[in-house]
Amino acid sequence: MLINIDELLNYYNAYFEWLPNYEIVNPFVVEEVKNEDDADKQIFFVGKISSKSANSPLEIDVKIPLGFPNEKISLTTTSIRNYAHLIPNKDESSWFCLNTPFCETRGEQLDLEMERLSEWIDKYLNKGEKHESPPISFRCNDFTLSYNEMPTKDGEKPRLKETCWGISNCYEVNRVLYPKYLGNNSFDILKNFSDLSERKIFWLFSDKTPVMEDGSLPSDLKKLNDVLTFPDSFADVFEKYFDIGLIGPCAIQNKDETLKEETTSEQDKYENKTIQVEQLYMQDFWNITDDVFLAIGFYFGNSIQWELLKIKCNAISVSNEKNKKEQVLSINQYGNEAYFGIEWMKTANINYENYFGRGRFCDKIVNSKIVIIGIGAIGSELAEILVRGGIKDLYILDDDIVEHGNICRSNYEFVDVGKNKIITLSQKLATTSPYINIQCFKKKIYSEINYNSKKEINDFLNKADIIFDCTASNELLHCLSMLDVKKPIISFGITNEARDMICVTNSKDNLFEQRKFFLKQLEHDTENLYYEGIGCYTPTFRANFADINSLLNLAIKHIDKSFSKNETADSFVLSHTDNGIEKDNIITFIQKELGFTISISQHCLDEIEHYSYMYYPLEFGGYLLGGYSRDMKRIYLTNILKAENIINGRTFFQPINNSAVHKKIKKIFAKTQGLINYIGEWHTHPEMGNMYSGTDFDSIMKQAKSKDIFTNNPLLCIVSVGNGFFEPKFYIYYNNNLYEFVK
């Protein structure tokens, strides 16, 4: 739909004429602005309004683009400066930073913009509320100074007290300056990089703040010297370094004879006049061929802040050619003296807190020494996730090289093929975080354990705080389970096509046994393994980058959440479903007298609860499937079956024909190569407690003595269920007694 410019112009004039607490100073008109390529014109509606509610005169220039509200409105003023959220422009104006959210219609957006403006006037202009912010000045985008300064803690002595200065080597990357030190604070942040351009930068720390009375930064070196007072030693070296008088007044020769007249009054003598370059000639100017940078440091709050100024000496030139565009430097003249103008650049304090302030992991993770074993599809991505989350000390172990087949789902690139994985990844991570310390170890842990020093590896891992196993290697996990590692070990494994990720930890159970049972219960489809290269030397599951990383990112989120609560990271399973990714916690129950443990997935408990309420208020039950560890002390409960043909009532439950269930158990037994089998039974006690009865005891004892089942120590689960409560309790039959488990 075409926009009628005249109708829109009338709309804006009518809107601001109606607007309470404001009045129109200059009616809105249409302004056309050419784009840089002169191909198209932008249309704006421009007017000026004044505030009736401000306690001092306040006029506001309003500039509304034709595409408003999809394009932003501009509200600026020359009436006031140096207030919170009032950002200076390069000219004498400042714009109101109101951070107004988007509205769908023109009227709604205007209402919200003016509401925010009225709130700003009342809060900051009328009530005089302060907002702690750096000194105010227009900041050029030419360069940015990055530095590292941490706030002074309570009781800590300030790092610098007195005025001091120096010269620092400085890396320049994409017009961002990284000094190696400022104020004797070493910050060689790019030490791991090579082939970077360098320059020299002067720095001056002052015990005074370089701020004018109105809160702005000085616009030339005279004003800066007036508020700071340059030390003689600094001024002498600074000017000798560039072989030209920069700080003192410049010797100028005016080309305009009217400017040579002597000033008659003291006021005129020191009046600030701006002279364009075509009007003056400067001696020895061509000695300087590069921008001159000076970093000014001072205390702002409880931290040192650095500001970067640039003296644009190389911009001055005089040309007799007409229509030739020249860079122009404003020289501020005081009587017969002229001083270099300065431009304030952007600065960024990239200390650790700021660098990772938008999203780092909990202190337990970022302050830990972390080991990652295996940096393939899972490990290489995990390393980057952790580094971007703020970790500081990382040890990576692998002995492999990058192959073409790794690229599709690992954190490597085509040009990395043939390189050592640990070296390639460490170089990449070093470009991500300047705060990471990486150590690389080219070795296979299980080879070291089996053939070299088990104690050496054990001691090495115990020096770490968190160990991640990302190898998906049963051999390695078995070796880790044999070690005496006191620190948290977290092992990741995936099923074919990354349908599931199992995360097992050593917090409560054996690593190898956990993954053996729960992974076997999850993964049955192993026929379509992809073999890299020729032959079958390295079979690996199919799994794409997106599926692996969606599971891995969520896994790290849950681990971070546990550590943030000072809890142990427990085992769990993540699975892709039609409803998204579902988490299945692995829960541990303990029998303290006999030393038995049960590990059961939350999914199994949910199934029992589902069937319990399905048949409530009648009694109901079924069978427990799983397996035992080699020492027969750890029981892994992986599957729940319900009875098929039963008779039941409020206080009794009895299967009539178990043939259908027996077929299911045999099928699961065959699919898991004999790993998962019958290990017990469960049934409900509606509206009753979860203590076993004499009938329950006799039934489970009969099962224990049966030759048709796998174990002599079957489990019994009694479920107390009612309106609003579900309380399962596990027992184990042992030496003609039932022993209770606790969570």
Mean pLDDT for all residues in the chain:
86
Paired sense of beta strands 489-494 and 466-469, if any: parallel
Listed residues 324, 352, 380: the one ending a domain? 352
Beta carbons within 10 angstroms of residue 232's beta carbon: 8
- Position 644 pLDDT exceeds 60: yes
Residues 303 and 385 in one domain: no
Q: What single string gives the DSSP state of each residue in 76-122?
A: EESS--S-TTEEE-SSS-EEE---PPP-SSHHHHHHHHHHHHHHHII
Nearby residues of 604 by Cβ (< 8 Å), 6 or more positions away: 637, 638, 639, 640
Residues 207 and 333 in one domain: yes
**Higher model confidence: residue 265 or residue 134?**
134
- Position 668 pLDDT exceeds 80: yes
pLDDT in tens, 508-529: 889 999 998 988 877 655 555 5
The CATH number that applies at residue 520 is: 3.40.50.720
What pLDDT does 619 receive? 95
Are the beta carbons of 432 and 384 closer than 8 angstroms?
yes
What pLDDT does 422 receive? 94
Average pLDDT value for residue range 233-260: 70
What pLDDT does 53 receive? 95
Query: What's the distance, Cα to Cα, between the start and end of the chain in Å?
Result: 67
What pLDDT does 671 receive? 87
pLDDT in tens, 526-566: 555 555 544 445 566 788 999 999 999 999 999 999 999 99
Q: Is residue 595 domain-resident?
A: no
- Position 278 pLDDT exceeds 50: no
φ/ψ bin of 277: left (φ > 0), alpha (ψ from -120 to 50), beta (otherwise) = alpha
pLDDT in tens, 142-198: 899 999 999 988 888 888 888 999 999 988 988 999 998 888 778 777 777 777 888
**Higher model confidence: residue 572 or residue 539?**
572
221-226 contact pairs (CB < 8 A, 24+): 221/246, 221/247, 221/311, 221/339, 221/340, 221/342, 222/249, 222/332, 222/334, 222/339, 223/332, 224/296, 224/309, 224/342
pLDDT band at 240 (very low <50, low <70, confident <90, very high): confident
What pLDDT does 330 receive? 60
- Position 292 pLDDT exceeds 50: yes
Residues 319 and 407 in one domain: no
Percent of the chain with pLDDT over 70: 87
* Alpha-carbon distances, residue 137 vs 92, 246, 327, 582 (angstroms): 10, 22, 21, 52
Q: Is residue 589 domain-resident?
A: no
What pLDDT does 337 receive? 77
Are the beta carbons of 342 and 318 closer than 8 angstroms?
no
Q: Is residue 586 domain-resident?
A: no
Give the global pTM. 0.83
Tell me which residue of 216, 221, 222, 342 sits closest to 270, measured CA to CA. 222
Q: Is the bond preceding residue 617 a cis peptide, omega within 30 degrees?
A: yes
Task: Name residue, tokens 């299980």.
Answer: 446
Residues 511 and 399 in one domain: yes
Q: Is residue 584 domain-resident?
A: no
What pLDDT does 289 receive? 61
pLDDT in tens, 353-369: 999 999 999 999 999 99
Instruction: Please give the tally of structural domains in the chain.
Output: 4
Residues 704 and 616 in one domain: yes
Are the beta carbons of 501 and 515 closer than 8 angstroms?
no
Are the beta carbons of 77 and 93 closer than 8 angstroms?
yes
What pLDDT does 275 receive? 45
CA 202 to chain centre: 33
What pLDDT does 156 receive? 86
Residues 278 and 225 in one domain: yes
Interatomic CA distance for residues 390 and 404, integer angstroms: 30
What pLDDT does 530 receive? 52
Task: Name residue, tokens 């912010």.
Answer: 133
Residues 718 and 695 in one domain: yes
- Position 591 pLDDT exceeds 90: yes
Beta carbons within 10 angstroms of residue 71's beta carbon: 12
Residues 283 and 159 in one domain: yes
- Position 442 pLDDT exceeds 60: yes
pLDDT in tens, 446-492: 666 655 667 888 888 999 999 999 998 888 888 888 888 999 999 99
Structure tokens at 462: 């115990």
Q: Is residue 134 domain-resident?
A: no
Interatomic CA distance for residues 361 and 450, integer angstroms: 35
Residues 88 and 122 in one domain: yes
Residues 558 and 655 in one domain: no
* Alpha-carbon distances, residue 151 vs 304, 358, 359, 367 (angstroms): 7, 18, 20, 19
**Higher model confidence: residue 642 or residue 40?**
642
pLDDT in tens, 593-638: 999 999 999 999 999 999 999 999 999 999 999 999 988 999 999 9
DSSP state of 415: G
What pLDDT does 339 receive? 83
Q: Is residue 284 domain-resident?
A: yes
* Alpha-carbon distances, residue 6 vs 3, 25, 45, 178 (angstroms): 9, 20, 10, 52
CB burial class (10 A; 0-12, 13-18, 19+) of residue 72? middle
Interatomic CA distance for residues 96 and 120, integer angstroms: 9
Interatomic CA distance for residues 702 and 680, integer angstroms: 12
What pLDDT does 449 receive? 61
What pLDDT does 129 receive? 86
Q: Is residue 456 domain-resident?
A: yes
Q: Is residue 597 domain-resident?
A: no
Average pLDDT value for residue range 284-302: 77
* Alpha-carbon distances, residue 381 vs 35, 307, 615 (angstroms): 44, 37, 46
Listed residues 72, 98, 126: the one ending a domain? 126
What pLDDT does 707 receive? 85
Nearby residues of 611 by Cβ (< 8 Å), 6 or more positions away: 620, 622, 640, 642
What pLDDT does 38 receive? 57
What pLDDT does 74 receive? 95
Residues 415 and 459 in one domain: yes
Average pLDDT value for residue range 406-426: 93
Listed residues 352, 374, 406: the one ending a domain? 352
Are the beta carbons of 625 and 671 closer than 8 angstroms?
no
Residues 384 and 467 in one domain: yes
Residue type, 538: T
Across 148-215, where does the E strand assignment appear? 164-173, 176-179, 181-182, 185-186, 197-205
Domain that holds residue 61: 5-126
Tell me which residue of 692, 681, 688 sits closest to 651, measured CA to CA. 688
